[in-house]
Amino acid sequence: MPKNPPMPTEFAQFLQDLGIRSFDHLSERLTKKETSTPRGIHGLAARWTSLSRAEKEKFFKLVISTGEAIIAAAPAVVAGAAAMRKSKSTRAKAADAMDQAKKKVENAGAEAKTRAKKITKKVAKKIMKNI
């Protein structure tokens, strides 16, 4: 199976900038609204606004790396699912393909998981302070 090349740095940077600007715009709109938005959404928007640029970049780097891990594993997952449908004799091959997909996600996402835990803890602490 051909290996997917990594996402170009320029495209990842574009996605990161686009996401940050979009969330900034959305949080700005939500914090200005009075009653039509649920209370929790206002708090979330306020939290996003209070994050530093570096924290916002870390968040979107995590989102992008998670997406890359999913994309990297997708062909193996599809191949495994297709093989499972064919016959009982190919189920072992399908199980192997699924195991390979899991390993790809674990390997590609190990660093992302570590970053996610750090960011999640930090954001959760900030949110809990304002509740």
pLDDT digits (tens, 9 = 90+) for 59-105: 988 888 888 888 888 888 777 777 666 665 566 776 777 777 777 77
Q: What tokens appear for 46 in the block? A: 């306020």
What pLDDT score does 30 carry?
Answer: 79
Query: Is residue 13 helix, strand or coil?
Result: helix
- Does pLDDT of 54 surpass 90? yes
Strand spans (E) along the chain: none
Mean pLDDT of the chain, nearest integer: 75
Picking from 29, 19, 12, 30, the residue whose alpha carbon sits closest to that of residue 53 is 19
Residue, of 86 and 45, whose pLDDT is higher = 45
Instruction: Check: CB of residue 47 under 8 Å from CB of residue 30.
Output: no
Q: Give the span between the Cα atoms of 63 and 55, in whole angstroms.
A: 13
What pLDDT score does 79 carry?
Answer: 77
- Terminal C-alpha separation, the chain: 49
